[in-house]
Structure 1
Amino acid sequence: MWALLRRSGRVNAPQLIGAMVAITAAIGILAAAAAWLAAGLTDPALATTGGQLVTLSSSFIGVAALIAGLTVSTTIATGLRERRRQYALLSAVGATAGRLRSLILFETLLLFVPAAPLGALLGFALAAATIPLLQNTDLAPDGYALPIDATPAATATGVMLLVAVAGAWSASRHALRVQAAEAVRSSGVESSRLGTGRRIAALVVVLAGGISATMPLVLPGMVGVAFAAVSTFLLVTALALVGPTIAAATASRIRPTLPPNSSLELPLANIRGFSRRLTAVLVPFALVAALGAVQLSTDAIVDTAAREQLAGGLVSDLAGVVSSAQDAEAVRRLEGTDEVVVLGSVAGEVLVDQDDDLPFEIWEPATLATISGTEGITGVLDPGVTAGSLADLRGDNTIAVSADALLGSTSTIGDSVAVRTDGTVSDRTIVAVYTSSLGFGDYLVTRPDASASGTLLVSTTPDRSTSVRTEAAALGIELQDSDGYAARLPGGGESSTSSVLLFALLAFGLLAAVNTLVSLIRGRRDEFDLLTRIGATRTILIRTIVIETLIAAILAIVLGLAAALPAAFGAGIALLHGWPPLPWATILTLPVVLLGCATATATITSIWLSRKLAVASSR
């Protein structure tokens, strides 16, 4: 067995190195996110921002795990598909299916010998590299040092090990079905016809994706948006199932429209004849396009909805930012001011409504909006109250809760909610339920002192708004109307950090797509060797590979964007009550990057392969 493993490693070194790189990157990105999750849960130095970090890292881990799992399993499956001839020939000389499957599993496990420590080091380096970003966005204190803990890396390695073994086992079932006589027929084409089970599975996944995209119309706020985002991944999964049929049908419909002797004839024939192989390129490129489009669009929709809710909920005449109690008091003393309230925030935790039989409590991290100066709240603030009244929000024993936070809970007006801030637990009675959770958060509480900094809301007496604004400006305090304040309010640190993490995910997904493309092109050496022997020049080979890749990348981008649009429109209609204004300039930049990477990868790899073939033919 070990002798066979060593020989297989030497022969298939490029494929194994590609798989090891994918596994290392997957472990690294998951370990980095898990390190921040652990720090947010356990590190006392992050007590004030731990809830935000836990929420941010948890959502990132979910998406990253899905992409990493798909990347690793696809990379391993692609490598095994290209080695079907080897396994068929080994089977012909006496190797049993069990022995070959053991060989595949041992090879997969051996990949983790270098990948696990390298991935752990990469994960810690990535986590440490994000410290300045989190400090700039006030999610980590100045001088913060991330604790060294092996648990996140070990957990990430364990997850990827399970994914890799499952992917190798599943792919080996197909690779080992090939008989020796069939393996030598390398010129035979692949059937694009799908089995009944696969067609049914694709239909079910598409229906599930469609239903998930409509969830924002049923579920409020970010809960519905999260379900809509899931629809994108479901539709990409459906693409993976029916990819061969889509690729073959596209090539079949384009070929009749070509002029005679077109340079597209051979690439389209290859796409039509090897559509299953092409699907391995379609899926990762489509996933990157879909992930970027859905994240960018939903971020823009949520930001727009939050600003609209904030602008609609600030019913004060003027609003501005204050950083001290002196600023708020100075405005309060100005002639013409009526009501003055400071809207701030504090990090805390809320006890989740749970079964009394559980032996432990579940505390959910939350950012609580705070109100200083409770007199006249209703004159400056209206977050869309549907039950109760903000006028009853007084003292440290009351709370207003959003309808989103109460979704799935039995709590209502008059019930109590356990809140923990700065280590102190208080039972607060729900006195109001409101709808504008994106603009004001899920919880509103009062703050007994008047020293809170944040947004100053000022209600003025009739015809005094302009004079109050002018006098406040003379004191160095900029006030403006509520609509203008909401429109100019910058995004929070959590939002900007999410954008950086999104680009990290996109870079990881693009690495996986490029890795898969290189493996597939390299695995076609025998095919291009045959074309060379019957007269194809190096220029023809390079042009064929590049054109095939461009067609595949364009098809993947179109399908990926199509998979993302239902989620974007569902979220837009639910949150904005109309067709959403999507950031098309940013979204369409991603296809340009994908096409550029695909073209460069195909060109470089095809030149390398053509040189190898030229050297081999000259011997």
Structure 2
Amino acid sequence: MSVVWASARAAARVHRASIAGSFAVVVLASALLTATGAWVEAGIRRTQGAVEPGAGELLAVSTSFAGTTVLIALFLVAATFGQSLRQRRRQFALLRTVGATPRQVRSMVVAEVLLVTAVAIPVGVVPGLLAAPWLTGLLISSGIVPAGFELGLSGAAPVATVLMLVPAALAAGLMASRQVSDGAASAVRQAGVEAPGLGRTRRIVAGVLLVSGLVVAGVPFVVSGTLASAMGSTSALLLLAAVAVAGSRLVHTVASRALGLIGGRAGAASTLALLNARGFSRRLTTAVVPLALLVALGGVQTGFAMTATQAAGRQLGDGLAADLVIEPTGRGDAARISGTPGVDSVATMTRVPVDVKTDEDDSIGFLAWESSSVLALGGDTELVDPVVREGSLDDLDGPATIAVSRDAMIGGFKGVGDTVDLRMGRGDEVQATIVAVYERGLGFGDFMMDPAALPASGAEPVTLVSVADGAEASVSDALADQGITAVDVDEHVAHATDASADGQRLSDVLLLVLLAFSALVAANTLVMLTAGRAAEFRLLRRTGATRTQLLAMVATESLVVAFTAIVIGVACVLPSLVGAAYGLLGTVVPAVNWPISVGLVGAVIAVSLLPIVSGRRLTAGAPV
């Protein structure tokens, strides 16, 4: 084993450029996973033994973000290690020709991976733990944690980071060195060129992922509702995973078709760039996938958020039968407003935080409860139309009754006559019977109850006012004389959607972190790939290529990478956004956040052009 470790250390010194790239990615992934793990642990600590409603919201937010973060981080770490080791196929082939066994080569690869991760993970863990508290202010402003909340030091997060990153890196290293098992002659042959074909296993996996992604994207066309649309949004990751598995064949086919179309008319630089793309399609795929992930992840998150916000505004606007809305009002203002001349009826809506029991297994403790809220609906319920499918809102007449949205039913509730366990106030638990099931959960929330059934809270109600025909102006003036400002329903919906957009700040920050991580990994991969082509550039210079031609070739390859990544990213995200738009808005025209989308495209192009900087250094000087 000492010989293996000595060989690993020597290889790390010789191939320090590619090792440095893998090291940097592991450091970034370690910091991101550690910070995420610290918030998950803080959410668990806050929820254990807590009885106040909303205590589990931090856990819900952190675990939701952690799931996506873990998948992306492990995928990019594995891809970086795999590419770093694939660049050294000639070294592995040489070791096989001088008598090294496949087991010895794999042992050396394992030793290198462990050496890099043993140094890189601690370097990333420390800034991850220090960066985690920076999010506290945003969590407090979003109402997820109370004022004065402090994040304690996490001990489990670094351990979890090690347990996730090391196996992923080892698996990637072993996969990259698998060619040494086919014999020395095969290893030498494979070191000279990349095989464009896909093995049977890769074809099957890619096919399964492709079909699964399309099926999931089509769920909103079959099953309506918010949860079905949210499920459809996950298809982007499935489709991108299919591209990662079969991307080399895709790049090879595109490059071959392009060469067939342009022939030699595109000039030496462009022709050489396409030949490189065809001959080294795996290399380009390693660069394309992180950039496509940047486009797909940003597109699906912002697009789905816009779709949900538009759907919530539409449901709220369509569901309010009032003429005027007062937002917000004091708890005793409803009676004063109802006595104003010209007012026919009044209703109040107050959002109250509660915890809802989602699992009957009490042995799992705090995990059985989920943070949510109840809309306390008082007064004339005819002013609110959430599209009741079963039962009636008129039956909301006491602490033991509740109305639920159909989306909440998909989460585990059965229907009218079943019960829901709630925890409210200072931990008082109430079992309420479902008396109505309604459609418009995005606009009005998942639960409605009688205000008398809920404890007093600091939340101020929104008052809905129905007036006599043609009396809107006079009622508005009379209310203004009392110091009360009334708006119409459209203005109230606009304010509500704006507030919802403000509540997306936390999600936007978390998304920005993931996008920045993906961009940095993509930039690191491109620079690492270019740095590993020094011998190739020297050979091309010796055969007559000028420095200008080589830089033009690198620039063309960069544009090919950018164009391919953008097309793949858009193709992966489009089915999910179309499904979400159909499920929530009834249209196949997806919602697109154009400023962010244009920014993502610009970021992809800018990152893709980084190899030109490395190419200028590698092509400098006279050919030798």
The question of a shared fold, defined as TM-score above 0.5 by the shorter chain, is answered with yes
Does structure 1 residue 588 correspond to structure 2 residue 607? no
How far is the alpha carbon of 1:82 from its aligned partner? Answer: 0.5
1:352 to 353, 358, 369: 358
Note the alpha carbon deviations across 1:468-514, whole angstroms, 9 max, x for none: 22333444433222233113321435422111211111111111111
What letter is aligned with 1:281?
Answer: A
Q: Kindly indicate whether the alpha-carbon contact (under 8 Å) linking 1:285 and 1:594 is maintained by their aligned counterparts in 2.
A: yes
Q: Kindly indicate whether the alpha-carbon contact (under 8 Å) linking 2:244 and 2:285 is maintained by their aligned counterparts in 1.
A: yes
Q: Kindly indicate whether the alpha-carbon contact (under 8 Å) linking 2:551 and 2:616 is maintained by their aligned counterparts in 1.
A: yes
**2:321 counterpart SS class:** coil
Q: Counterpart of 1:375?
A: 379
Q: Counterpart of 1:411?
A: 414
Note the alpha carbon deviations across 1:424-472, whole angstroms, 9 max, x for none: 1111111111111111221122333597414222223333332222333
Q: Counterpart of 2:43?
A: 40
2:486 to 479, 488, 501: 479
Q: Kindly indicate whether the alpha-carbon contact (under 8 Å) linking 1:417 and 1:428 is maintained by their aligned counterparts in 2.
A: yes
Q: Counterpart of 1:322?
A: 328
Q: Counterpart of 1:311?
A: 317
What letter is aligned with 2:567?
Answer: V
What letter is aligned with 1:456?
Answer: T
Q: Kindly indicate whether the alpha-carbon contact (under 8 Å) linking 1:48 and 1:347 is maintained by their aligned counterparts in 2.
A: yes
**Cα distance change, pair 579–484 in 1 and its aligned pair in 2 (3 A):** farther
What letter is aligned with 2:479?
Answer: A
Does structure 1 residue 343 correspond to structure 2 residue 349? yes
Does structure 1 residue 538 correspond to structure 2 residue 547? yes
1:193 to 197, 217, 221: 197
Q: Counterpart of 2:125?
A: 120
2:176 to 160, 171, 175: 171
Note the alpha carbon deviations across 1:86-129, whole angstroms, 9 max, x for none: 12212222322222212211221222323222322232233211
How far is the alpha carbon of 1:330 from its aligned partner? Answer: 4.4
**Cα distance change, pair 222–36 in 1 and its aligned pair in 2 (3 A):** farther
What letter is aligned with 2:111?
Answer: F
2:607 to 592, 597, 603: 597
Does structure 1 residue 466 correspond to structure 2 residue 473? yes
How far is the alpha carbon of 1:292 from its aligned partner? Answer: 1.3
Question: Which deviates the most, 253-262 or 11-20?
Answer: 253-262
Q: Where does 1:84-103 land on structure 2 (aligned, <5 Å)?
A: 84-103=89-108
Q: Kindly indicate whether the alpha-carbon contact (under 8 Å) linking 2:129 and 2:154 is maintained by their aligned counterparts in 1.
A: no
C-alpha separation between the residues in 1 aligned to 2:331 and 2:80?
Answer: 58
How far is the alpha carbon of 1:313 from its aligned partner? Answer: 1.6
- Unpaired segments of 5 or more residues in structure 1? none
1:518 to 523, 527, 539: 527
How far is the alpha carbon of 1:217 from its aligned partner? Answer: 2.5
1:426 to 394, 419, 430: 430
Q: Kindly indicate whether the alpha-carbon contact (under 8 Å) linking 2:268 and 2:549 is maintained by their aligned counterparts in 1.
A: no
Q: Kindly indicate whether the alpha-carbon contact (under 8 Å) linking 1:400 and 1:444 is maintained by their aligned counterparts in 2.
A: yes
What letter is aligned with 1:311?
Answer: G
What letter is aligned with 1:217?
Answer: F
Q: Counterpart of 1:74?
A: 79
Q: Calculate percent identity across the aligned residue pairs.
A: 35
1:221 to 205, 219, 225: 225
What letter is aligned with 2:278?
Answer: R
C-alpha separation between the residues in 2 aligned to 1:30 and 1:185?
Answer: 36
**Cα distance change, pair 345–155 in 1 and its aligned pair in 2 (3 A):** farther
Q: Kindly indicate whether the alpha-carbon contact (under 8 Å) linking 1:56 and 1:498 is maintained by their aligned counterparts in 2.
A: no
C-alpha separation between the residues in 1 aligned to 2:458 and 2:38?
Answer: 35
Q: Counterpart of 2:64?
A: 59
Q: Counterpart of 1:16?
A: 19
What letter is aligned with 2:236?
Answer: T
Q: Which 4+ runs in 1 deviate beyond 6 A?
A: none
Note the alpha carbon deviations across 1:234-257, whole angstroms, 9 max, x for none: 111111222222212222222332
What letter is aligned with 1:66?
Answer: L
Does structure 1 residue 7 correspond to structure 2 residue 1? no
**Cα distance change, pair 349–220 in 1 and its aligned pair in 2 (3 A):** farther
Question: Which deviates the most, 468-477 or 492-501?
Answer: 468-477
**Cα distance change, pair 118–393 in 1 and its aligned pair in 2 (3 A):** farther
Question: Which deviates the most, 461-470 or 7-16?
Answer: 461-470
Q: Kindly indicate whether the alpha-carbon contact (under 8 Å) linking 1:251 and 1:272 is maintained by their aligned counterparts in 2.
A: yes
C-alpha separation between the residues in 2 aligned to 1:495 and 1:609?
Answer: 45
How far is the alpha carbon of 1:518 from its aligned partner? Answer: 1.4
Question: Which deviates the most, 200-209 or 447-456?
Answer: 447-456
How far is the alpha carbon of 1:182 from its aligned partner? Answer: 5.3
How far is the alpha carbon of 1:359 from its aligned partner? Answer: 7.0
2:290 to 275, 284, 299: 284
What letter is aligned with 2:210?
Answer: V
State how many pairs are aligned: 610
TM-score by length of 1: 0.92
**Cα distance change, pair 32–342 in 1 and its aligned pair in 2 (3 A):** farther
**1:53 counterpart SS class:** helix
Does structure 1 residue 396 correspond to structure 2 residue 399? yes
Does structure 1 residue 576 correspond to structure 2 residue 585? yes
